[in-house]
């Protein structure tokens, strides 16, 4: 798996410089020239870390950082030309994980990226095993004994999200934001349809887990006792 890093900055020279160094390290790079473009990429692509410039036209970096913190579980590094304590305070209050003042050494940025990815354990959680069931994020396959299920993307991401947090209750709105993206305009009953399909797919297979409806709230995944 290649780790995908989003660079959101209205300065094309900064984007090009950062992309050059990070691509040499093997990272996949996504670029956005403003906050709105970054939001669209977050909705459509899997992003593991975001590098966000504070001063962007339209939706600025602080607003984008708050949006990321509300809807995505990824680390954020804010870039800014201002290094005053008050500026850093605003950045951390918006939810950023780290703060880097321009101009900066690309090597320092790289070290901070690696530290945050370790903290978030981005590279580690690519497969989940529950009893005899293995949910593989790289292949989008679910292995149950010798059986292999290849799930549609949305169904797989829904299952993986629930399985990543056993017994945690997710509202329909939270699941929509996490899987379909914050800009999704559809009905929350979309979640009900996908849960129904997942239950049907696993109905005749060994039950290492069940997806339980929490009335009036949403869903959770419960691990079944052996």
Strand, helix or coil for residue 125: coil
The pair of three-digit structure tokens given for residue 35, joined into one six-digit string: 């906050």
CATH class for the region spanning 4-120 = alpha beta
For residue 148, what pLDDT is reported?
93
Q: Which residues of the chain have pLDDT under 70?
A: 1, 83, 121-125, 182-183, 226
CATH class for the region spanning 127-223 = mainly alpha
Give tens-digit pLDDT for 130-172. Answer: 989 999 877 888 999 889 999 988 899 899 989 988 898 989 9
For residue 125, what pLDDT is reported?
58
Q: Where are the domains of the chain?
A: 4-120, 127-223
Q: What percent of the residues of the chain are helix, what percent strand, and what percent coil, each to the nearest 5?
A: 40, 25, 35
For residue 122, what pLDDT is reported?
59
pTM (2 decimals)? 0.56
């Amino acid at each position: 798996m290649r780790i995908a890093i989003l660079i959101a900055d209205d300065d094309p020279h900064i984007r090009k410089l950062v992309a050059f160094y990070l691509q040499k390290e093997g990272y996949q790079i996504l670029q956005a020239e403003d906050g709105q473009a970054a939001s669209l990429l977050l909705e459509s692509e899997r992003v593991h870390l975001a590098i966000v410039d504070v001063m962007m036209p339209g939706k600025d970096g602080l607003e984008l950082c708050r949006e990321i913190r509300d809807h995505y579980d990824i680390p954020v590094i804010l870039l800014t030309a201002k290094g005053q304590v008050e500026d850093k305070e605003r950045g951390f209050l918006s939810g950023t994980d780290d703060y880097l003042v321009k101009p900066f050494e690309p090597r320092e940025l790289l070290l901070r990226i690696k530290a945050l990815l370790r903290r978030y354990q981005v590279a580690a959680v690519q497969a989940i095993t529950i009893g005899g069931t293995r949910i593989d994020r790289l292949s989008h396959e679910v292995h149950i004994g010798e059986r292999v299920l290849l799930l549609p993307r949305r169904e797989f991401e829904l299952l993986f999200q629930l399985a990543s947090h056993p017994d945690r209750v997710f509202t329909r709105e939270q699941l929509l934001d996490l899987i379909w993206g914050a800009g999704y305009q559809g009905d929350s009953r979309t979640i009900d349809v996908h849960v129904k399909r997942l239950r049907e797919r696993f109905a005749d297979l060994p039950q290492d887990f069940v997806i339980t409806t929490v009335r009036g709230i949403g869903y959770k995944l419960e691990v079944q006792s052996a």
